[in-house]
């Protein structure tokens, strides 16, 4: 049975969306109507999400880490200073972008891009520390039962809408096998709504990813689509 990893899947989703945001921000035609507002909103939404994610980790994971491996917890706490500063700088530039004069927009766009790059740099370092220091410490000093309790507590704290959002953010970044295992577990919790659930959780997958998921689950895609229409 695979080890319980409290970080891996969600972090893969975060990396993918941070990289996508950086590419989109760097390549955007800022002269287009509404482009500055949209990009600013996406940056602010990202920092809000990352702050909320940190709060979740503090609530459900890092209390246990502080009890069992305080040195690892201290290392994570120290990184929050750089992260908080990077988030604040990105937010400031994002909020200012929509009101920037047209002639200054290209420079403001690039400054926002650099601020996002600093967030990504700081955040990647933080994720690496959690995955290579914190998680191994939890494997060493906390048993599977305790980690299962942590995971269950987090999941029970999420509304159905929040849980669906979590999956939609995460699944496109995962390899086929773990993606199928996660979706299979979700579908099995609502057998009377299996088709609709499958459509809902796979909404952010690419066509190729969705086709592979349905193949791995052993169900035809037309079945799910018909089931969603009936639901």
Q: Which residues contact 98 (CB under 8 A, 6 or more apart)?
A: 36, 37, 40
Q: What share of the chain in percent tops pLDDT 70? A: 95
Q: What is the pLDDT of residues 161-198, one digit of tens each?
A: 999 999 999 999 999 999 999 999 999 988 888 888 99
pLDDT of residue 230: 47
Do the Cβ atoms of 141 and 69 come closer than 8 Å? Answer: yes
Confidence check: pLDDT of 228 > 50: no
Q: What is the pLDDT of residues 57-70, one digit of tens each?
A: 999 999 999 999 99
Tell me the domain boundaries of the chain: 8-155, 160-230
CB burial of 111-127 (b: ≥16 within 10 Å; e: otherwise) equals bbbebbbebbebbeebb
Q: What is the pLDDT of residues 79-127, one digit of tens each?
A: 888 899 999 999 999 999 999 999 999 999 999 999 999 999 999 999 9
When computed from its CA atoms, the radius of gyration of the chain, rounded to whole angstroms, is 20
Q: Which two tokens stand for residue 43?
A: 């940056």
Cα 147 from Cα 211, distance rounded (Å) = 33
Q: pTM here?
A: 0.91
Residues 24-44 have a mean pLDDT of 98
Domain at 8-155, CATH class: mainly alpha
């Amino acid at each position: 049975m695979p080890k319980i990893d409290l970080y891996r899947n969600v972090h893969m989703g975060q990396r993918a969306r941070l990289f996508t945001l950086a590419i989109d921000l760097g390549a955007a035609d800022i002269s287009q109507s509404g482009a500055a507002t949209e990009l600013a909103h996406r940056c602010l939404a990202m920092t809000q999400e990352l702050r909320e994610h940190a709060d979740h980790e503090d609530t459900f994971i890092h209390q246990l880490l502080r009890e069992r491996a305080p040195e690892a917890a201290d290392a994570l706490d120290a990184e929050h200073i750089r992260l908080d500063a990077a988030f604040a700088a990105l937010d400031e530039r994002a909020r200012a972008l929509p009101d920037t004069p047209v002639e200054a927009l290209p420079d403001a766009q690039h400054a926002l891009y650099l601020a996002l790059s600093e967030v990504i740099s700081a955040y990647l370092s933080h994720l690496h520390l959690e995955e290579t220091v914190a998680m191994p410490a939890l494997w060493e000093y906390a048993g599977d039962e305790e980690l299962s309790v942590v995971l269950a507590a987090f999941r029970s704290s999420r509304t159905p809408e929040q849980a669906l959002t979590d999956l939609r953010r995460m699944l496109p970044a995962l390899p086929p096998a773990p993606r199928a295992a996660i979706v299979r577990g979700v579908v099995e919790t609502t057998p009377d709504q299996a088709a609709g659930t499958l459509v809902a959780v796979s909404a952010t997958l690419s066509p190729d990813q969705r086709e592979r998921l349905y193949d791995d689950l052993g169900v035809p895609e037309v079945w799910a689509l018909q089931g969603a229409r009936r639901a």
